[in-house]
Chains A and B, each alone.
Chain A
Amino acid sequence: MKNAAPLELHVPEPPARPGEVPDFGWLKIPPAGSVARPDIATPPNEMRGHAYTLIRVLDEQGAASGPWDPKLDAETLRRGLRTMMLTRAYDERMFRAQRQGKTSFYMRCTGEEAIGVAQAMALDDRDMVFPTYRLQGLLIARGWPLIEMMNQVFSNTRDRLKGRQMPVLYASKEARFFSIAGNLATHLPEAVGWAMASAIKHDDRIAASWIGEGSTAEGDFHHALTFASVYRVPVVLNIVNNQYAISTFQRIAGGEESTFAARALGYGLPALRVDGNDFLAVYAATRWAADRARTNVGPTVIELVTYRASAHSTSDDPSKYRSAEEPGRWPLGDPIARLSGHLARLGEWSEERQARLASELDSEVLAIQREAESYGTLASGPHHRPATMFEDVFKEMPWHLRRQREEMGS
């Protein structure tokens, strides 16, 4: 066949750039409660539709409906709300501390709080998690003390990571929270490996991991899905689709022609595509996938559709690449407002309680921040002693490191 016209390269573009009218018309939003809930033993092939729809429980009025409603009691819902609000209060304080020059860098998860928090609550605390840098809600929900997190952000004398890692790259063995990698996607297949070990040892713990939609382009994403599928690994693989990877819209990661959840289908894995700002839907989908993993049925891929409401990090300025109005037009709303609206509708919450809790949490965070700063900040110190940088390169320090430590003279 002869070409009718010369070949052309297609380079995807977002629907709107700065100065243009934001448009989310491309996001198809089914009514809350309308998506079926298959049995966890359903063969992946018989539930392919779940990779292209959007599982939703909460509607615009805050009512919960449908088969995915996890029917959590009010106390549990309030705990979820509180943890999301604590996460946001923490983010705002740490963001401000960075702006005041107290540390080098910070990353907020604004608008994505339901993911870390609801998923932590749906998993068992003994399960191992391999998160990204935007899952502080997960660590907070696991009860890891904010003071520990702040000490890390300030790289101070109490920082358990000894000032070695950039802010937010937490690690906590006690919280079963894997050391966060700066190198994207590397941890996803590692989570699969951990879960393979759990299966080899006939353990009862599963693993869960998270990856940004942008990072699914890395080869490591493919390795994770291949191994998970081949060995039917007890793992939950979450794709957080917050629409952006720094400046690039998700179409650059391959979101234009398909969904990220649908990546699972080619590997014979089941996929759930979920409204990531709907606390109840996120909880229910995670529970479904965790049950599936725990009962030896196999791994699940979950795409959580959300929106990165703030900048990528303190080094980023989104006004350069997206319309300033865009965050306000995001059709799936804000996870905190939605859950609080739901509780209010149940008669279990009110605007006054919401406001009171927000200010209580801010004071709580501020008090902890004062304590953390008393142990030092990146800007003004004190820090761990310089000589400590030579520790942990190896278990036993070889001669050349001992010599370099002497050469440094501290």
Chain B
Amino acid sequence: MPRMNMVQALNSAMDVMMARDENVVVFGEDVGYFGGVFRCTEGLQKKYGRDRAFDTPIAESGILAAAIGMGVYGLRPVVEIQFADYIYPATDQLVSTAARLRYRSAGAFTAPITVRSPCGGGIFGGQTHSQSPEAIFTHVCGLKTVIPSNPYDAKGLLISAIEDDDPVIFLEPKRIYNGPFDGHHDRPVIPWSEHPASEVPAGHYTVSLGQAACVRPGAEVTVLTYGTMVHVALAGAEEAGVDAEILDLRTLIPLDIETIVASVGKTGRCLIVHEATRTSGFGAELAALVQEHCFYALEAPIVRITGWDTPYPHALEWDYFPGPRRVAEGLKRVMAD
């Protein structure tokens, strides 16, 4: 089976879908000839032509609006917002139209669009190349939100997102494009090729939206996490010496509540880990859900390990990033009671 890093896996997903479905078009800033600043769309214009993979003006609202219009026509646009930090000009199109079109027209009109965007820190991108804005989108009714943590899932989830008839926000943690980063920024970079999830089928397959994956079975505590933090949580559990069950949520909306409830029901403890800021972050929703569904199983308060409630500071990146040490401390805190 071919080995792929995340960039190649995402590229392969778009390639497979463009070959299978003439209605799939790909566009965004620097996406066409150049193939995207992270190279995710490399080669697509050459293969499928300028009217199926093209560059756009620098106008995120325009990109989303055009995608919605094309979706209404019957296409399946896959657009790239160069950094998730630059999606804000498009929020009106996302919130007021993409998310509500099916509802407001009682199903007469829909926009089956996929919005890909690199998120998260770890590349010294400062406050405008590091954000994790997923909770903004999960708060909007009508948007699905996906965050993969490895190449195999990235391709399977992106194909599912493109085939999905609802709008999907597909956030790609840029720090793990090239390797499974566990938060130890001072250690040598590990490429994906040494990780089992870099075995990616060349052809079509899907990973269903709404299904979490258990990346480490365990008995003592459940860790709910996604994206880059999956790898950080694995390292943190190792370092804390705690038998943690680590769930990679993969899709935030729709959320795999059964898997969460079954796990917390078993372990009786829950740690939530995300890179995004804490207040009103997706962890708050998870904590509320666990409390609603598992209150009588809980043996200790739920703990959250997250980014701090500040913009992402350039030079202080590693003091901001919730690394394995903080995850390990969080695990010890949940285990203490």
Contact of A378 among B50, B89, B124, B278 (CB under 8 A): B124
Q: Chain B: interface residue count, which band?
A: 35 or more
A155 & B315 in contact (Cβ 8 Å cutoff): yes
CA distance A185 to B34 in the complex (A): 23
Determine the main DSSP class of A at the interface with B: loop
B residues within 8 A CB of A182? Answer: 85, 126-129
Residue from the list A159, A164, A252 in contact with B55, Cβ < 8 A: A252
CA distance A347 to B30 in the complex (A): 47
Q: Does A166 contact B (CB under 8 A)?
A: yes
- Smallest distance from the beta carbon of B132 to chain A beta carbons, Å? 16
B32, B54, B315 interface centre (most CB from chain A within 10 Å): B315
Docked-complex contact A183 and B58, CB < 8 angstroms: no
Is the C-beta of A247 less than 8 angstroms from some C-beta in chain B? yes
Interfacial chain A residues near B301, Cβ < 8 Å: none
Q: Is the CB of B88 within 8 A of A393?
A: no
CB-CB under 8 A for A393 and B309, given A165-B127, A169-B126, A183-B88: yes
Please judge, given known A-B contacts A155-B315, A163-B313, whether A390 and B308 are in contact too, CB under 8 Å: yes
Question: Which residue of chain A has its CB nearest to the CB of B90?
Answer: A219
CB <8 Å contact, A389 and B278: no
Cα distance, A321 to B35, chains bound together (Å):
10
User: Is A104 in the interface zone, CB < 8 Å from B?
Assistant: yes
Chain B, residue nearest A104 (CB): B124
Q: Is the CB of B57 within 8 A of A165?
A: no
B 54-68 binary contact with A (CB < 8 Å = 1; else 0): 111111111000000
Query: Is there contact, CB below 8 Å, between B51 and A218?
Result: no
- Could you say which interface size class chain A belongs to? 35 or more
Q: A246-B29, A410-B319 are in contact. Are A404 and B309 (CB under 8 A)?
A: yes
Name the A residues within 8 Å of B33 (CB-CB).
17, 247-248, 321
Contact call A11/B32, Cβ cutoff below 8 A: yes
Task: Name the residue in A17, A163, A217, A321 with the highest tally of chain B Cβ atoms < 10 Å from its Cβ.
Answer: A217
Asked if residues B128 and A384 are in contact (CB atoms below 8 Å), the reply is no
Tell me whether A217 and B310 are in contact (CB under 8 A).
no
Q: Are B34 and A400 in contact (CB under 8 A)?
A: no
Asked if B336 is at the interface of the complex by the 8 Å CB criterion, the answer is no
- Pairwise interchain contact A183-B85, C-beta atoms closer than 8 A: yes
B308 and A166 contacting across the interface, CB-CB below 8 Å:
no
25 examples of A-B residue contacts, CB within 8 angstroms:
A8-B51, A11-B50, A11-B51, A13-B50, A155-B314, A162-B313, A164-B314, A165-B127, A166-B125, A166-B314, A167-B314, A182-B85, A214-B58, A218-B58, A219-B61, A246-B29, A247-B34, A252-B57, A378-B314, A386-B316, A389-B308, A389-B310, A389-B313, A393-B309, A400-B309
- Known contacts A183-B88, A185-B58, A321-B33; 17 further A-B pairs (Cβ under 8 A): A9-B51, A11-B55, A17-B33, A163-B314, A164-B127, A164-B316, A165-B314, A166-B127, A182-B126, A183-B128, A217-B58, A218-B61, A253-B58, A378-B315, A384-B316, A389-B310, A404-B309
